[in-house]
Structure 1
Amino acid sequence: MSRMMHISSQQAPVYIYEFKITLNHSNPTIWRRIQVPELYNFHDLHLAIQFAMGWKSGHMHQFDMNHPRTSKEVSIGFPNEEGFSDYKVLSEKRVKISNYFTLLNNMALYTYDFGDGWEHEILLERILTAVANTTYPKCVAGERACPPEDCGGIYGYKYLLEIIANPQHREYAEKKRWLNWIGYNEVNPEHFDPRSVTFDYPIQEEFEFSD
């Protein structure tokens, strides 16, 4: 589950990073705004994004951004110590977000599911002081529903919406059965309520690695 952090009124000030997460190429835009503790590593941030967006963490993912001091692009995610790739991926469990995100180096690309290719722009908007007696992470804003997993990426999702909007479409019955099978009894692409986001329910990751 996502690492929850309760801020008491007695502890020293803790800084909070406020991120806007935008699903690239979505139109109208699907986005979320979340607040997470500066103590988070990139794995914690990954889980917070998954919960806020509505993904299920069943696929590989990766962060790509510039190093704040060298400006060289770095990849953070599952380390490729077994030689699966020609380039180095830093372990997201060992890299703190505060080591890379600054107000001047405030953007990253987060890719989820390399097959469907869900690309998200991660923008650090503000660094705040944590509010006492508050539990983080929090989803404070957002718009529109998360697409279903495994629907073929953003363009597959657009095609899916076209199909279910037209009961006369030749693929309508098939897609409705598939949506029901994966738990989408009703698809309302315009609906999102940030108050419905919880970060404390178990999430079973398909891919795990040790520290």
Structure 2
Amino acid sequence: MLPTTVETKCSTLGCQNKATSRCTGCRDATPPTVYCSSDCQKRDWIFHKKYCGKKAYTFDMTLVGSRDPVITRSFEVPSWYTFQELHYTLQYAMGPWQCTHLHEFSFRGERDPFTYNDDEKLKILPRYLYEDDFGFSMPGQPAVPKEWEEKLLLSDVFDPRGRLHGKVVQDGEISPLMYTYDFGDCWEHELKYKGEKLAREARPLFTSAQGCGPIEDCGSISGWEDVKAAFRVPAAQRTSEQRYKVQWAKDVSGLGDACDPFKEPDVVQMNYEGRWENHLQAYKLASARA
């Protein structure tokens, strides 16, 4: 452990003592992991070892077509996450949404980013659209086991030494990653890779968020704009259609009269560990049932 001048409390859960040293394994992380004693550090190791000295990837995400305001999220995710866990992260970031529709990952660019020889192809495909699921396959798509998303690591793609890294780099930069959710409403998200840093937790962390996530099944961006427009009209002046949209939003969101499509996301709340864990377990159950 190294001396530190950081005026903060010990990182061990429940300890309120002033920190006097920091973990050497992630000493350059911001904020640093600090302790008041070696005993506290030992007690915290069962949690801290999950991310000590490991990397996280940072992304800026934009919901394509959103406006007034443009819906954005900036976040970091562990480098050891799979693409399925990235899918869960994006579901959480947007509502949270409920992980009940098909989705697809793809990289922008002319080349197939997941072709690494003539005999073996691994493309970003819709999560559930496979012959084993519905008795049909998508024309022109290679047969890829649906479990690929559970196994492909983000580091396979975004780490410079990753086995697929070279396939997504064009003109010296990583191509934007596109995430499409719900092929009916067609929610398109553009993710721009911003770099890597030392991980601060073994879960996603959000640094900024703008714009309320749309309510699922509202009918794409245009449908969400219609919902927002209905809420803008004073209750006494709403048409029957606008009253229906407002009531629908209150019912479907589960928020009742607290439903507010103009409420800005609370980043502090989004970063609650228990909140993330609860939604993660729900997403895993939803995927298991699919």
**TM-score band, normalised by the shorter chain?**
0.7 to 0.9
> Shift of the alpha carbon at 1:165?
1.3
Q: TM-score, normalised by structure 1?
A: 0.83
Contact 2:230 2:243 in 1 (8 A): no
> Shift of the alpha carbon at 1:58?
1.4
Distance 1:32 1:73, change over 3 A: farther
Query: Of Structure 1 and Structure 2, which has the larger fraction of its residues in strand?
Result: 1
With a CA cutoff of 8 Å and minimum separation of 6, indicate the structure with the bigger relative contact order: 1
- DSSP-derived class of the 1:199 partner: helix
| Separation (CA, whole Å) in 2 of partners of 1:8 and 1:30 | 33
- DSSP-derived class of the 1:164 partner: helix
Q: CA offsets, 1:73-107, max 9 Å, x none?
A: 93244262434312135621121112223583252
Uncovered stretches (5+) of structure 2, i.e. residues with no partner: 1-45, 161-172
| Separation (CA, whole Å) in 1 of partners of 2:287 and 2:56 | 28
Distance 1:23 1:7, change over 3 A: farther
Aligned to 1:3: none
Q: What root-mean-square deviation, in Å, do the aligned CA atoms of Structure 1 and Structure 2 show? A: 2.8
Paired residue total? 202
Q: Tell me which of 228, 234, 249 is aligned to 1:161.
A: 228
- DSSP-derived class of the 2:174 partner: coil
Aligned to 1:173: 243
Distance 1:93 1:81, change over 3 A: farther
In the alignment, does 2:95 pair up with 1:25?
no
Aligned to 2:169: none
In the alignment, does 2:113 pair up with 1:67?
yes
> Shift of the alpha carbon at 1:13?
2.0
Q: Tell me which of 87, 98, 103 is aligned to 1:46.
A: 87
> Shift of the alpha carbon at 1:160?
1.3
| Separation (CA, whole Å) in 1 of partners of 2:159 and 2:122 | 15
Contact 1:146 1:189 in 2 (8 A): no
Which residues of 2 match residues 120-131 of structure 1 at below 5 A?
A: 120-131=189-200
Contact 2:71 2:210 in 1 (8 A): yes
Q: Tell me which of 39, 43, 48 is aligned to 1:8.
A: 48
- DSSP-derived class of the 1:196 partner: helix
Q: CA offsets, 1:98-142, max 9 Å, x none?
A: 2223583252110011111000001111111223xx342212211
Aligned to 1:84: 137
In the alignment, does 2:266 pair up with 1:193?
yes
Uncovered stretches (5+) of structure 1, i.e. residues with no partner: 1-5
Amino acid at match of 1:59: H
- DSSP-derived class of the 1:100 partner: helix
Q: CA offsets, 1:26-73, max 9 Å, x none?
A: 012101112111111100100011112221111111101252786x99
Contact 1:67 1:100 in 2 (8 A): no
Contact 1:42 1:76 in 2 (8 A): no
Query: Of Structure 1 and Structure 2, which has the larger fraction of its residues in helix?
Result: 2
Aligned to 1:93: 150
| Separation (CA, whole Å) in 2 of partners of 1:43 and 1:207 | 10
> Shift of the alpha carbon at 1:12?
5.8
Distance 1:157 1:12, change over 3 A: closer
Aligned to 1:141: 208
Q: Which has the larger radius of gyration?
A: 2
Aligned to 2:184: 115
